[in-house]
Amino acid sequence: MSGLAKASADWRRLAHNVEVLAAVAGVPMMAMVKADAYGHGMVPAARVAVEAGAAGLGVVTLREAWQLKRRPDLAETTVMAFFFAPDQPGLAEVVGAGVELGVSSHAQLESVAAAADRAGRPARVHLKGDTGMSRGGVAEHEWAQVAEAAAKHQAAGSVVVAGAWSHMACADEVGHPSNAEQKAAFERFLGVVAAAGLEPEVRHLANSAALIADPEARYDLVRPGIALYGYNPVPGFPVDLRPVLEVRSVVMSVKRLPAGTGVSYGHTVRLEREANVALVPLGYADGVPRAASGRAEVYLAGKRRRVLGRICMDQFVVDCGDDAVKAGEPVVLIGAGEQHPDADDWSAWAGTIPNDVLTGIGSRVPRLWNRGVGPVEGG
């Protein structure tokens, strides 16, 4: 079925979003290109973001960081990996390659210092304090202990504390009390880091939402993800962002069915009147959210049309009324056109967020990464 679908990225729009967000932030940007750049293709997205002015690249796993850092064209770019397990294989190699590491525990700090000694090169680390997200990060009662241990390793030449950072839980809800609490906690964390004698080059706290909505959270570096790809997570704070990704398919077949016909699994819907129904060969295995069944729409033959009944694993059905739609007709699932559905629409239909929709696009959907001027190598 995959020959009947494709995902494409318009890199001019990504470059535009990088520039717009950099102007809003007024401080350097680490472009978050984890998770295949939210489904957009990690390497081409990273290259475009750096060309457009991003000061660094953020990913989660050591493997992602290695894939970026080993490329000659990104070797000089700051690449930061946010997660690793203490004693994870490959740690010395990525330290040796110059990847910067987020450190969220004493155990991680010790294993990075040991890896740096094996690599023969100090590890550049960013200490993460948990300021209220209650996910990763050193808990407040351990801040001093970890900062002092980092200072010792820095004095011994094993690590350089390049950054101090945290992550916000509610930045997309402007005025949520936890935002002020987290910023206050981050200030306390910076105080503890300074008291240990450390002077990190960068302090960073802001994801897309905090970058857009909260000037106090921007510090020395911002870490946008979803906004780079064209989706603004903060209602009421307009920014000129453009969706980068498009997902298209084609109609595989069309048939005319009588009024009263039940459609798709469970017959959750019956045709109210006789209609032409089109079969589209993409389903939840390709990332079309099953939870959007009953609400979703696609753009087909000049207008938005409703998806009938349940979205299946490999296909779904579209109500085309009396319109003479033909097999081979393009279908836009995610697009940037005025009438096209986008990842915000799908997330509203499925009860999720665009990050989830974009990162969920399945591996069967071929990615045609292009810059709008011709194909670019994807790997």
Ligand X SMILES: *Cc1c(COP(=O)(O)O)cnc(C)c1O
Q: Which residue is nearest to ligand X (CB)?
A: 225
217 touches ligand X (CB under 6 A): no
Instruction: Say if residues 27 and 219 touch (Cβ distance below 8 Å).
Output: yes
Minimum distance from CB of 252 to ligand X (Å)?
34
The residue (of 216 and 274) whose beta carbon lies closer to ligand X is: 216
182 touches ligand X (CB under 6 A): no
Report in angstroms the alpha-carbon separations of 192 from 57, 145, 148, 155. 27, 10, 9, 17
17 touches ligand X (CB under 6 A): no
Give the span between the Cα atoms of 286 and 280, in whole angstroms.
Answer: 12
225 touches ligand X (CB under 6 A): yes
Cβ partners under 8 Å of residue 225, min gap 6: 32, 34, 38, 58, 207, 208, 355
Minimum distance from CB of 167 to ligand X (Å)?
5
Instruction: Say if residues 246 and 337 touch (Cβ distance below 8 Å).
Output: no
Active-site annotation holds for 34: yes
Task: Give, for 356, the enclosing helix (H) or strand (E).
Answer: helix 354-359
> Which residues in 278-337 contact ligand X (CB under 6 A)?
none
> Which of 153, 218, 223, 305: binder of ligand X (CB under 6 A)?
223
232 touches ligand X (CB under 6 A): no
State the distance between the two ends of the chain, measured CA to CA, in whole angstroms: 23
Q: Which of 128, 183, 255, 265 is catalytic?
A: 265
> Which of 32, 159, 168, 311: binder of ligand X (CB under 6 A)?
32
How many residues bind ligand X (CB under 6 A)? The answer is 13
The residue (of 161 and 217) whose beta carbon lies closer to ligand X is: 217
Residue 280 φ/ψ, nearest 5 degrees = -115, 125
Instruction: Say if residues 246 and 336 touch (Cβ distance below 8 Å).
Output: yes
224 touches ligand X (CB under 6 A): yes
**Residues assigned a catalytic role:** 34, 265
Binding site for ligand X (CB under 6 A): 32, 34, 82, 167, 207-209, 223-227, 355
